[in-house]
Chain A
Amino acid sequence: MSAVEVAGLRKVFNPGKSSQVDALVDVDLVVQPGAFVTLIGPSGCGKSTLLRLIANLTEPTVGSIMVNGKTAKHARLDQEYGMAFQQAGLFDWRTVAKNIELPLELKGWDRAKRRARSAEMLELVKLPEFGDHMPWQLSGGMQQRIAIARALAAHPPLLLMDEPFGALDEMTREHMQAELLRICATTNTTVIFVTHSIPEAVYLSSQVVVMSPRPGRITHLVDVPFGNDRSEDTREASSFFAKITEVREALRGAEFQPTARGVDDR
């Protein structure tokens, strides 16, 4: 069974009005369990919309979305996925541990079980001594790690991330990428990750999904066969740069495709 299966998806904003926008057309996507799939493309290509559709935060105009063999809505109601955004979105009035426990509270877990799980998650993101801190006492990178811990607290099989490292500086960002890969390998979580950054996409993903705007659609799928052993050396390998070039060219083709005629399109 696929982790996520999107078929014949179409999303139209403001249908029938002069402000009508075809956010996504003819989108088909299959994500295998354990995969790390990155959605990349210029602004307005619908990558965040696609993520929000999979999360059932918005409904498709046409088409079907299955998450873990359930409809997207059913999957949301069962908390089959965790989600992280560009803003860490921690609650100022809750301690770090209580922030991680929020999804568990909503699932009706008792206090002792919640405590044990939040301690486990704090270990996982390597911030075990910060449970009793308030969120605003943490740096941006640490807050984002807590947001990831919260997203994974209920051990969902799927993690949806919308530019989670977009607001971080370059050094913190690279560190967080390595941490995310370690965490996902440990927990065996499938990830769908939205980004603007080509190196970030290549470093993280098993597959890069290249999208183009007006109307938003998938133009290329680039497989990244680096396997699980990715380290800081990966970032300096020639195969890494080759993949970056491949994705960049796919993006160029995608971006100029509506105006520049004769550009390859598969």
Chain B
Amino acid sequence: MSRRGTALLAGIAPPLLFGVLLLGSWEAIVRGFELKPYFLVPPSDIGSGFVDNWGNIWDAMRVSGTNAAFGLVLGTFAGVLMAFLLSRFKVLDELVTPMSIAVNAIPAFVLVSVFNNMFSTTSDVPRRLMVTLVVFFVVLVNVAKGLRQVDATHAELMHSYAASNWEILRKVRVPNAVPYLFTALKIAAPLSVIYAYVSEYFGGAQNGLGSRIASNIANSKNAVGWAYVLGACLLGLMFYLISIAMEAVVTPGGLAQRDRDGS
């Protein structure tokens, strides 16, 4: 137990120390060179801004979090479904893959602007649609890969058992794709939050973190703006931790160690 505690401490002490050192020198530089607040805000001001505005920040976090969560769940389901269809119908694969690359190449703000025009500006649909789209492609590409890349020995073995396509799907392809799904989720979860902020920034209801950060900084309330940024970081971190926790629950102890995603 104590050895474990020591190991844990040895694990978190260096990054913790580094963080404290970084914040300390940030504070020292701002104060020492008397930098103007519009240039750089000291961490202490961000901290007090965060505490003073906690109620508003929390409200904005909930709005952005909901937008991101909607897109994340919807995009994951749609991505998994499409991955199944692609692995089943080769023609579809040839049609969808180039299109998905093309759509992915369109800048996010263009899509958000188009969506904002399609729906009313007070609607949550455009931003959620944007997140859904981003998550969809990340999940689609990874899960399709997992469903397709069956080990050659496994394929021969199932053939020798005279297994049907359905049995091969259920007993080999799907379990093979599970680690790929979690690789996708670990990328998509923080991405969903980031795209929620970006979409909020480009119009629509002014209640999310993205628009709050922009409006506070535009009003020269830089410390408060930074406090919202801190809230945005925390929300992104939360999403990432949830995706890791889900992986740990679904594939306990094992599959992650196999390093099949090369990460």
Contacts and interface: CB of A to CB of B under 8 A. Distances in A.
Interface of A: 55, 57, 76-77, 79, 81, 83, 85, 87, 89, 91-94, 102-103, 105-106, 134, 136
B124 to A, nearest CB: 38
A37 B94 CA distance: 46
Interface of B: 151, 153-154, 156-157, 159-163, 167, 171-172, 175-176, 178, 251, 253-255, 257-258
B154 A134 contact: no
A89 B157 contact: yes
Contact of B258 (A83, A92, A103, A105): A92
Contact of B163 (A83, A89, A106): A106
B157 to A, nearest CB: 6
Contact of B160 (A81, A87, A105, A134): A81
22 contacts: A57-B156, A57-B159, A76-B160, A83-B157, A85-B157, A87-B153, A89-B154, A91-B172, A91-B175, A92-B254, A93-B178, A93-B251, A93-B254, A93-B255, A94-B175, A102-B161, A102-B171, A106-B161, A106-B162, A106-B167, A136-B257, A136-B258
A85 B153 contact: yes
Given A93-B178, A134-B254, 10 more contacts: A55-B160, A77-B162, A79-B162, A89-B151, A89-B153, A91-B171, A93-B251, A103-B161, A136-B257, A136-B258
B160 A83 contact: yes
A226 to B, nearest CB: 30
B31 to A, nearest CB: 54
Which has the most chain A C-beta neighbours within 10 Å: B157, B178, B255?
Answer: B157
A103 B161 CA distance: 6
B128 to A, nearest CB: 33
A91 B251 CA distance: 14
7 smallest CB-CB distances across A and B, nearest first, come from A89-B153, A93-B175, A87-B153, A77-B162, A83-B160, A106-B161, A85-B153
A57 B162 CA distance: 10
Contacts of A93: 175-176, 178, 251, 254-255
B12 to A, nearest CB: 28
Contacts of A57: 156, 159-160
A136 B258 CA distance: 8
A261 B162 CA distance: 46
Contacts of B156: 57, 83, 85
Nearest to B167: A106
Contacts of B162: 76-77, 79, 106
A102 B258 CA distance: 22
Contacts of A134: 253-254
A169 B162 CA distance: 33
Contact of A136 (B151, B154, B161, B254): B254
A93 B251 CA distance: 9
A18 B175 CA distance: 41
Contacts of B255: 92-93
A79 B162 CA distance: 7
A19 B205 CA distance: 65
Contacts of A92: 254-255, 258
A120 B171 CA distance: 23
Nearest to A105: B171
A106 B154 CA distance: 14
A79 B161 contact: yes
B29 to A, nearest CB: 50
Contacts of A102: 161, 171
Nearest to B154: A89
A55 B171 CA distance: 21
Nearest to A94: B175
Nearest to A73: B162
Contacts of A103: 161
Contacts of B153: 85, 87, 89
Nearest to A77: B162
Contacts of B257: 136
Contacts of A105: 171
A81 B161 CA distance: 9
Nearest to A135: B254
Nearest to A52: B156
A90 to B, nearest CB: 9
Contacts of A94: 175
A92 B154 CA distance: 11
